[in-house]
A = this chain, B = another copy of it.
Amino acid sequence: MKRATAQNVAMEAGVSKWTVIRAFTPGASITEASKAKVLEAAERLNYRPNLLARSLATNSTHQVAVLVDDFANPHKLPFLEKLTASLQAEGLVTMLININQHYSHVHAILNADQRQVDAIVLFGTAFRDEMLTDHKLGRGGPPMFVLARDSQIEGVPAISCDAVVAIAEIGEHLLKRGYRRPGFMAGARTLSTALGRRRNFKEFWRTALGVELVEMSAERYSAEAGAQAARDYLSKVAPEDRIDVLMCENDALAFGAMDVARSEFGLRVPDDLAIVGFDNAAPAASPAYGLTTYEQPTDQMVKAAIDMILERAPRETVNFKGELVVRDSA
């Protein structure tokens, strides 16, 4: 059984289809009498307006594509929750696109564009800027934004947490606590994102103490990859030559590293090895980890992204200051 259209309701109510539309358009010019008549007929036929047809006519879908490529990061879930809730509060709906080996960013952007989304939010880490600059959508394409990562892409503003300030805060804290042999674990060696935090952290120690950073790289941004990278390092380097504090590019890596340090190498955290993460993912707060980490100002970031999408704010890169969360691990 096909669904009822405005035309069907119109016939049922004995009016024209435009009167039916008006009955469903808030603030439209229509008498109470005909509105009631239409609404009753609509009820009888179980009429629900077709938003697809409306979108086609109004040239606006109220849909926002959100591209996610690192589901391994547990922090994605609460962030996604806030993002979807805030979008919905503005009458926007989320098209969630999973970027993976079988579904590239370019593919996703093309698809989202053809579905006439109002905006595309790149909410991930694993893409290279070149991917996107190569593929300009040209005229009429939806505006794009990068969320929770920086971006050098021309015409694609980024909404992110201020990495310079964050790293400086973390560095100062570690310095004050007396750590002197720092290490850094990056999540994916090839990405320009990784370079940001790493470079800042490296620079910090060089300037502060003239000390060189020990660098290691995990294959991906996951606890398993972090565990493996830590295992590689710890089994290679003798206890007396080891770093005394490890900064991980995100919490997922930190959890893996801490697990390995404690259970496979019998190290005490923070006494033998201090660990710092980034994101303040849920398990970080648990006494099982007690991870010192850095919390991104997700509320502000989400708000800023939505303001840009709705053109309530200028579409330009913005940074927000996050907050250092000190716990037991460092």
Interface positions of A (Cβ within 8 A of B): 1-4, 46, 48-53, 55-56, 61, 63, 66, 71, 74, 76-78, 80-81, 84-85, 88-89, 93-98, 100, 102-103, 110-111, 113-116, 137-141, 223, 255-256, 258-259, 262-263, 282-283, 286-289
Q: Which residues of chain B are near A103, meaning CB under 8 Å?
A: 85, 88-89
Q: Whole-angstrom distance from the CB of A316 to the nearest CB of chain B?
A: 21
Is B61 in contact with A71, judged by CB distance below 8 angstroms? no
CB nearest to A103 among chain B residues:
B88
Is A98 in contact with B84, judged by CB distance below 8 angstroms? yes
Is A113 in contact with B259, judged by CB distance below 8 angstroms? no
Closest 10 CB pairs of A and B: A3-B140, A71-B81, A84-B98, A263-B287, A46-B138, A1-B139, A96-B96, A288-B288, A51-B114, A77-B77
Q: Given the complex of chains A and B, what is the CA–CA distance between A287 and B96 in angstroms?
A: 33
User: Looking at A95, A140, A263, which has the most chain B CB atoms within 10 Å of its CB?
Assistant: A140
Judged by DSSP, the binding face of A is mixed
Q: Whole-angstrom distance from the CB of A58 to the nearest CB of chain B?
A: 11
20 A-B residue pairs with Cβ-Cβ distance under 8 Å, sorted by A, are: A1-B139, A1-B140, A2-B139, A3-B139, A48-B113, A50-B116, A52-B116, A53-B56, A71-B80, A74-B77, A76-B77, A84-B97, A89-B102, A89-B103, A94-B97, A94-B98, A223-B282, A223-B283, A255-B288, A288-B289
Is A110 in contact with B48, judged by CB distance below 8 angstroms? yes
Is A50 in contact with B114, judged by CB distance below 8 angstroms? yes
Is B282 in contact with A259, judged by CB distance below 8 angstroms? no
Q: Given the complex of chains A and B, what is the CA–CA distance between A61 and B2 in angstroms?
A: 16
Q: Given the complex of chains A and B, what is the CA–CA distance between A52 and B63 in angstroms?
A: 12
Is B55 in contact with A52, judged by CB distance below 8 angstroms? yes
Q: Whole-angstrom distance from the CB of A85 to the nearest CB of chain B?
A: 5
Q: Whole-angstrom distance from the CB of A66 to the nearest CB of chain B?
A: 8
Is B74 in contact with A74, judged by CB distance below 8 angstroms? yes
Is A46 in contact with B139, judged by CB distance below 8 angstroms? yes
Q: Which residues of chain B are near A81, meaning CB under 8 Å?
A: 71, 98
Q: Given the complex of chains A and B, what is the CA–CA distance between A197 and B66 in angstroms?
A: 35
Q: Given the complex of chains A and B, what is the CA–CA distance between A287 and B231 in angstroms?
A: 14
Q: Given the complex of chains A and B, what is the CA–CA distance between A55 and B80 in angstroms?
A: 27
Q: Whole-angstrom distance from the CB of A222 to the nearest CB of chain B?
A: 8
CB nearest to A94 among chain B residues:
B96
Q: Whole-angstrom distance from the CB of A303 to the nearest CB of chain B?
A: 16
Q: Which residues of chain B are near A89, meaning CB under 8 Å?
A: 102-103
